[in-house]
Every structure is written in C-alpha cells, then in structure tokens.
Chain A
Amino acid sequence: MPSRRRRVDRQRLPIPALILAIIAIAFFALPFIGLVWRTPWRLTWEVLTDPDVRQALWLSIWCSLWATALSITFGVPLAWLLARVGFPGRGVVRALATLSMVLPPVVGGVALFFSFGRRGLFGQYLYNWFGFRLPFTTRGVIVAQTFVAMPFLVLTMEGALRQMDRRFEDAARTLGASRGYVFRRVTMPAVWPAFIAGCVLTWARALGEFGATITFAGNFPRTTQTMPLAIYLALESNPDEALVLSMVLIAVSFAVLIGLRDRWLGGSARALT
C-alpha cells in the first residue's frame, strides 16, 4: 500500500543523516562517560560534606538564580522593545544586547571591571556616593553572570514575540483587556515555551559562568567562589576533588533540565482565566 509506505518513509531518517546524528550523540555522551569512569566515587561523601564545597555549590545556585531573575526582569522588557517597537538604531541595540554572548567572558569581565570597579568609570561614583562595591563581592558574581547570560533570554523571547500571531492580542484588546492584562493573559501564555526555554538557557549559562566571574568578582571562598571556579582551582591542587565537583555540577544541571522539560516544555500550557 503506497500510503502506508509513505508514512513509514517520513518517520525514518535517511541512513547517512542517521549516522551523522549518532556521531553527534556520541560526541555529547563520550566526554561524560570518560568523566564518570575516571571519577573517584569513594571520595564523594568526603567532598560533599566539605563545608567549602557546599558553600561553593550553594553560592552557584543562589547567584545563578538571581542572575536569571534579573535577566527576566530586564530582559523581557528589552525583548519586547526589540520585537515590537520600531526605533532608529534598533539593530545597534540588538547587537549590543547580544555582544556579551559572543565575546570571550574574560573580556566581559575586564569591561565590567573598568566600568563598575572601584576606580571604574561608573563604579567610582557608586562607591563614593553610595558606598556600593561590586567587584570581589557576591553581588559582583551576580552582575557578571547576568551580563553574559541575559542575551540568551532576550534572543529567545524576541524571536517568540515576533513569531506569535498578534491578532490574538487585538482580539483581547477588543474584549476590554488593558495592555498589561493582554501581556499577562495572552502574550505570555503564547510565548510560554520560549520563555521557559530562554530561562533555562540563561540559568544554565549563569551556572557555568567562569571567565567574567573570576575577572570581575575574583575567587574568594564563601563570597565569590562558585562551582566552576572551585573546580578549576581544585584541578591544580587536587584533581580527584575536581572530578567529584564536576559530577555534582553535572548532576544538578541535568536534574534541572530534565525536570523542567517534563514540567513545562512537554505538557500543554496552563488555563489562565
């Protein structure tokens, strides 16, 4: 039966593409297998109960969540502006907002340092007038992470806002919904999957952030030493500990990614009235 054959054909990937896809899967999986194989599991308990490690893990989670929250607060309005408002220089603003994604994070950290450092162009006023110090503080970690991670949210949200059918917003307006109500009840539900995906990307980028953090916030246990920094440091002094720390970071990231996928990305959107 020709119709049945066509259906089967559509489901099956051509053999060459299948081989390349399997190579890609292997490329992602093999490094982790190597890591798991080499990890000294007997040290796990010892490392996990080390107060410095727990501090680094806690700091990583705390700072990355803050960075995600800040990215949502400022990034969603920015995405809205880029997607919906035509203004001169929009291209330049978009390039600027995504520059930190392309730059080596160390360069971002250096830029932050010379702008918001204690003697930086803007940082000196923050310090002299308000006594507010960013570099070498936990706040600095959050700022560095937000700087490199926010573009992921801005880009995904802007794309989704552009693609959504705006006539649904029109329909809501004619039903008596204010612009704010339309945003909460129509726009956000429509771009919800993209929003969650953007948040996950942003959070993951913040959690793994290394270069900008170490340049701008330094590497001080308990205040600025996040997991990636701790791993890098341990690699030089105690490689076994570095391996266990890596496994911990992988486990946390993997758990969150899988959890979010089932909860938000797979299922249908929620009822909102």
Chain B
Amino acid sequence: MTLRIDAGVQLGPLALAVEVGVQPGEVLAVLGPNGAGKSSLLRIVAGLVALDRGRLTVDDDVLDDPVGNVFVPPDRRPVGMVFQDYLLFTNLTALENVAFGLRARGVGRTTARLRAAELLDRMGLSSHAMARPSGLSGGQAQRVALARALATSPRVLLLDEPLAALDATTRTGVRRDLRHHLNDFEGMTIVVTHDPVDAYALADSVAIVDHGEVVQRGTIADVTAHPRSQYVADLIGTNLVAGDVANGVLVTSSGAQVVVAGAAPGPGFAMIRPQAIALQRHVATDSSVRNSWTGTIGPIDLLGDRVRVGVLGALPLTAEITAASLAELDLQPGDAIVASAKATDITAYPA
C-alpha cells in the first residue's frame, strides 16, 4: 500500500531522475529551488507527463512503465491534484467545480451535487456553493480546489505550491486548515513547495529535490539536523562544510580545516550554527577554542537585534552576533577578521 515513483524523464535541459516512495497517510513535502523539477514530478504522477525510464506504481497497480508498455491516462488514475493558482473553472460555480470530476466519471447530476455539497460543507464553504471563482478569496478558492480534487476519492493527492498564491495575512490560517484536511486524508499525499515553513507545517517527511534529483529524504527533524546540501543549509540558515575527515580534522577541497570532535574518518559534513561562531579582530593565543579561521568581512544583514555577518576566506561562513557586538567591534565589509568555534559546537556526520 504505497506510491512508488522511479522516474526518469528528459524535460528540455533538465534530466529528472527521482526515486521516492510515499506511505498511506503520509504527507511528503517535495522541497527544492525553482526549476529543480518539483512540479514535473507531480505531473508525472498525475499522468500529464509520460516516463522515459523507470516505473510508477500505486499499491499493486502499475500506472506508467515504459519497458512494460503500460501507460494509464490521467483520467483513469486514482490521483487528485490541486494546481498552483488552483485553476478553478471560471464558468462554473464552486459547487459545479467540485462536482466536475464526478460528472466526468458518469455520476448523475443530483448525486454529484449532493456529494459536492457535502464536501464543501466539510470545508466550511456551504455558503459559497453558488459563488463563481472570481467571487472567492484565495483561501476559499484553495479549499474549493482541494474539495474538487478529493471529490473523486483519489488514493493519491498532489498539491502544487498550495499556499504560494496567498498573501501573507491569510497564509497562516489557510496553512493550518490545510494541515487539518491533509490529516483527514487517508491516502498518500505529495506537497510541492519552495517554502520550508510550509513543508514543516504540512508534511511528515521531506524530499529535497535539486537539479532533477532527490538529494535528501527523511523526516523534517532529521533533514534539518543533518543537512546534506548547500540548498538545505541555506534554507535553515546554517553553515555546511563538506570535506574529508581524518584524525578528527575535516579538510575541505580548498584546504580549510575544521576540527571535529569524535567524527568517523572518510567523507563527511560539518554543520556549524551561525550562533556558535565568534568573531574577533585578532587571533587569541591563550584560548581553548580549537577552530579559528581568518578571513575578511563580507555582507552584513541586520535581523532586528541580531546581525548576520558573512566571513569570506578559505572557509566561507556566516556568523550571527548581537547588534551590540557589531557596534563594539565596529566591523565594516572588507575588514580582516578571525572567526572561531568550539569543536563541541560543531555537528559532524558522514556524507
């Protein structure tokens, strides 16, 4: 009882090669930068894009298998999709939109409308059943789109950037509602998003997609605790250093060294939280701190009472210090600086 995607397809310049599975009741967030192939993954599952290689199955049903010459067209897949911008049919009312899938599958008008009314009611939209999409707010339109996708009782639910079309003020509430509705859904759900906050709020697990490949897959806690790509490190705002570990020292490709306590030898990552990095004008000679790197001050970003300071050098880092420290040190871009961190504040793990 799972959705298994083993997808190989060439989409213009992008070679998509994704292998991922989703369990019933699981909400998987697919997170990645624009153009990474996230939406294409959903279109593959929906049957709007055919595979060149690989295999797509839901439970025991093969949906796409180029080798076995199987391709189930989109209208016969057990898949519901909520599109970016929702794509509600503008000439139909909210009720008719939700009833569309049932009508298309040959359900009688009365039965289809009853079922649609039920779903709208569950979404708290009964009073808007007769409204046209142009008369709905972004959050309401999203719920109609969700009801429309769920009306045909799919086993797989796909959501393409379900919150991107909303403004900041309504977003939080709509996100909470969506989480609630996704919890009720017993099938397999994939949510595509570029916002880690959405992924964190909506999903149980996350797959990071970059350049057409899954670069990391796991629970959200696991992925954020042990990022394995610069993209994830940037998303959660931490420093990630890749290199080879030998004798408790990680050496990067540019020759910079990070002392990591008790790390296993071999290729590995070191994560250094920006808050754990201290900045000094001069190298301290009598310090217990094992790691210190020289560099110059890069961009300085003010975040309220905290400041993010870029350090450029053999080991590029971002440090987070208080605004008071910044003022005291009187740091300017281009100044020489020494960044340091205790080995115990650095998390190291094998690549």
Contact = CB atoms under 8 A, between A and B. Distances in A.
Given A172-B89, A173-B73, 19 more contacts: A165-B87, A168-B87, A170-B46, A170-B83, A171-B81, A171-B83, A172-B100, A172-B104, A173-B75, A174-B75, A175-B149, A176-B75, A185-B100, A186-B89, A271-B91, A271-B96, A272-B91, A273-B99, A273-B109
Question: Which 8 A-B pairs give the minimum distances between C-beta atoms?
Answer: A175-B101, A273-B96, A177-B104, A173-B74, A269-B91, A171-B87, A174-B81, A176-B105
Interface in A148-186: 165, 167-168, 170-178, 181, 185-186
B289 interface: no
A58 B81 CA distance: 53
A174 B79 contact: yes
B48 interface: yes
A232 B103 CA distance: 54
A107 to B, nearest CB: 42
Contacts of A171: 81, 83, 87, 89
Interface of B: 43, 46-48, 73-77, 79-81, 83, 87, 89-93, 96, 99-101, 103-105, 109, 112, 148-149, 151-152
Given A171-B87, A173-B74, A175-B100, A271 B81 contact: no
A170 B93 CA distance: 19
Contacts of A181: 104
Interface of A: 165, 167-168, 170-178, 181, 185-186, 189, 268-273
B104 A174 contact: no
A176 B152 CA distance: 8
Q: Which of B73, B89, B90, B93 has the most CB of A within 10 A?
A: B89
Contacts of A172: 89, 100, 104
Contacts of B46: 170, 173-174
B152 A175 contact: yes
A170 B151 CA distance: 17
Contact of B80 (A167, A174, A185): A174
A165 B89 CA distance: 11
